[in-house]
A and B are shown apart, each in its own frame.
Chain A
């Protein structure tokens, strides 16, 4: 089946032996991604074509990207250049310095991630996919794909170049049908005439390594939650260990095929003086530091672990993800509580196993 080709491609990200154990059955040779029976064969063929386009088609252009949040809308222009066999370079135009504006390159062979929503196999598993007519984007003829979720609501539409299979426009909707993410080429050149032959150098990568299934299992035993599912719909598809300026961090990636959520965990507690630019939000679950935009970021600590959620997802889904993770209620202050805390800490010095 054509879609199984997409899944075989995603093995490059997740070792086959890892996939089932960490939570998703996406990867592995011969594993059927189990697309929804309500999807049309013609639509799945088209999805297969768009997922393999980056490895076959050279293209370059400028994309307009918008993200609607609960309080604001963010928009920008992104320059995109794809060279088969080398990868895809993306550069945000018009923003200031810093990593958010830097160019980065995806590796060639990451088939299945071209649609900006995580592995394509998850898309086929979680949504009914059908064709929905024809349209034009940036002067080119396209065919439209429609993704329908559990509530029979259209969750996303893709506009796919008729001739090459390049994804030219993408819109994602929330449960009420309002657009929450949209991207579309405003200029695009497709084909062998696109130059140059080489991509510019990518942003320096952090040291990172994928974890094996046994390492993930060990971490779960030693107290890491590593949940296989977030918000009852986002599947864990990758676990990495990343070295950052603040030490090694566990990076867990989740997706339903349209929305992506990264969960980062490291020991310690949040140093609030470092969270400049974030909005602190306090309730009975403690203090969380929030930054809206694309992607949305939420940082907090609980029980000796610093959690950070980085998400490209509708705000209600991000709230649901955050609410489902561990939190620690703030300790009441006062003389009795202070002395009680102190006695407990002194006790833990004498007997750390108590």
Chain B
């Protein structure tokens, strides 16, 4: 198998199929270059995961609360100056159409409905896209851990006094037990 290259990101993200993952892990066992690349990817992913979210602008919550209150439209804010200008008010008893600059009421209502529909559609789409992105990795969102099993084996031996061993060459020993039924 040549180097994993494009598969490394998918491997770190847990997006490989079972068989592809097994092949990739088998390759990693014998390829130091790819192991180093995997370690780099994993470190970068952990660093990205650790970045703090950008802070919300000051006053955003208050603005949102005000938007939810019934009453006149919000004052427009001039970017950078902090100055506010109120929209022109309509004197009681006078129809908006009496003013030369006002638009017809029916057309304005239709635009508001369309704007609301568009805003709603965009919000739903944004939510679904966010959910799609966030929900990409099946399984627990918890921090990946490389368990230190070698230490576990030593600690097990220390507390149970069972000597651990593995991978002993067959010719390393010159005696054998005769296994049989008791």
Contacts and interface: CB of A to CB of B under 8 A. Distances in A.
Interface stretch (B56-64, B98-106, B107-115, B132-140): B132-140
A291 B140 CA distance: 24
Given A262-B155, A342-B131, 17 more contacts: A92-B165, A102-B154, A114-B161, A116-B160, A246-B145, A267-B145, A273-B25, A274-B146, A275-B25, A276-B29, A280-B21, A293-B166, A294-B163, A294-B165, A297-B153, A338-B132, A342-B132
Interface of A: 13, 64-66, 68, 73-78, 88, 90, 92-96, 98-102, 104, 106, 110, 113-114, 116-118, 154, 157, 171, 173, 177-179, 182, 184, 186, 203, 205-206, 208, 238, 240, 242, 244-247, 249, 251, 253, 255, 260, 262, 264, 266-277, 280, 282, 291, 293-295, 297, 299, 301, 303-304, 306, 308, 310, 312, 328, 330-333, 335, 337-346
Contacts of B83: none
Most chain B CB neighbours (cut-off 10 Å) among A96, A100, A178: A100
B65 interface: no
Contacts of B163: 65, 76, 78, 90, 92, 294
B172 A66 contact: no
B147 A270 contact: yes
Contact of B38 (A106, A269, A273): A273
Contacts of A13: 159
Interface in B1-54: 11-12, 14, 18, 21-22, 25, 28-29, 38, 42
Contact of B162 (A116, A171, A344): A116
A20 to B, nearest CB: 20
A273 B12 CA distance: 7
B128 interface: yes
Contact of A95 (B139, B157, B166): B166
Contacts of A312: 156, 160, 162
Interface residues of B, number: 61
Contacts of B28: 273, 276
Contacts of B176: 64, 66, 75
Contact of A343 (B135, B142, B143, B162): B135
Contacts of B134: 341-342, 345-346
A271 B152 contact: no
A264 to B, nearest CB: 5
A244 B155 CA distance: 10
A251 B154 CA distance: 12
B85 interface: no
A186 B161 CA distance: 19
Contact of B168 (A74, A255, A276, A337): A74
Contacts of B162: 116-117, 260, 294-295, 312
A292 B38 CA distance: 26
A160 B42 CA distance: 53
The 6 residue pairs across chains A and B that have the minimum distance between CB atoms: A342-B135, A342-B131, A94-B172, A274-B146, A341-B135, A268-B145
Most chain B CB neighbours (cut-off 10 Å) among A99, A106, A260, A268: A99
A297 B152 contact: yes
A186 B134 CA distance: 61
B88 to A, nearest CB: 39
B150 A94 contact: no
13 contacts: A64-B176, A76-B173, A78-B163, A90-B163, A94-B169, A106-B161, A238-B159, A270-B144, A272-B14, A291-B166, A297-B149, A341-B134, A346-B127
Contacts of A251: 152, 155, 159
A333 B138 CA distance: 7
Contacts of B136: 338, 342
A192 to B, nearest CB: 24
B182 interface: yes
Most chain B CB neighbours (cut-off 10 Å) among A184, A260, A340: A260
B8 to A, nearest CB: 9
A271 B130 CA distance: 25
A270 B143 CA distance: 9
B167 interface: yes
Nearest to A169: B177
B140 A304 contact: yes
A346 B130 CA distance: 8
